[in-house]
Amino acid sequence: MGVVQTFTRRRQTTIAGDVAGVIRLAFAAGEIASLWGLEGTLRASLRADLCLRGWQWAVADQTARDIVAGAHRFIGAERPSWYEGQPEHVISEGTLIERTRCACCHKPLPEDRKKFCSSICYTSHKHRLSRRRAVADDKGAEMAIRAL
């Protein structure tokens, strides 16, 4: 077993600043649709880099996570809620994809509607979502597995 390696806080802050710059550039260039788009990739590549330098995996992973979290703090990125991450969430203006089909029955949307083709679909969808939200996490997972 090698020596446990770490960065000084100052070094870690400097690296987080560099990573923040990379995220900003990728976002400005339209390569990622959200400031979180590179989170997994950055964490994995930082971790791999540190491991290749002889760091222990767990220490490298935690350090990579801390650096990426620091970068997101630098740029003031706010993590979207779980609900905002779901396909049912209304797509905001300016994003590349626009909904063309009903979120419930998947029929093409009439021009004057943005998410549901009718109030029946809207109501039915809301009921389904509230049922899903009402179940406890593990019960929800069971439901999801059964639905597959």
By CB under 5 A, name the binding residues for Zn ion. Answer: 102, 104-105, 117, 121
Q: How many CB atoms lie under 10 A from the CB of residue 7?
A: 15
Residue closer to Zn ion (CB basis): 64 or 103: 103
Residue closer to Zn ion (CB basis): 56 or 124: 124
What the block records as the tokens of 63 is 């350090």
What is the closest distance, in whole angstroms, from the C-beta atom of residue 86 to Zn ion in the complex?
A: 17
What is the closest distance, in whole angstroms, from the C-beta atom of residue 122 to Zn ion in the complex?
A: 8
Per-position DSSP letters for 60-112, written without gaps between them: HHHHHHHHHHHHHHHTT--PPPTGGGSTTSPPPTTSS----B-TTT-PBPPTT
**In angstroms, rounded to a whole number, what is the distance separating the alpha carbons of residues 68 and 46?**
9
What is the closest distance, in whole angstroms, from the C-beta atom of residue 106 to Zn ion in the complex?
A: 7
Residue closer to Zn ion (CB basis): 24 or 113: 113
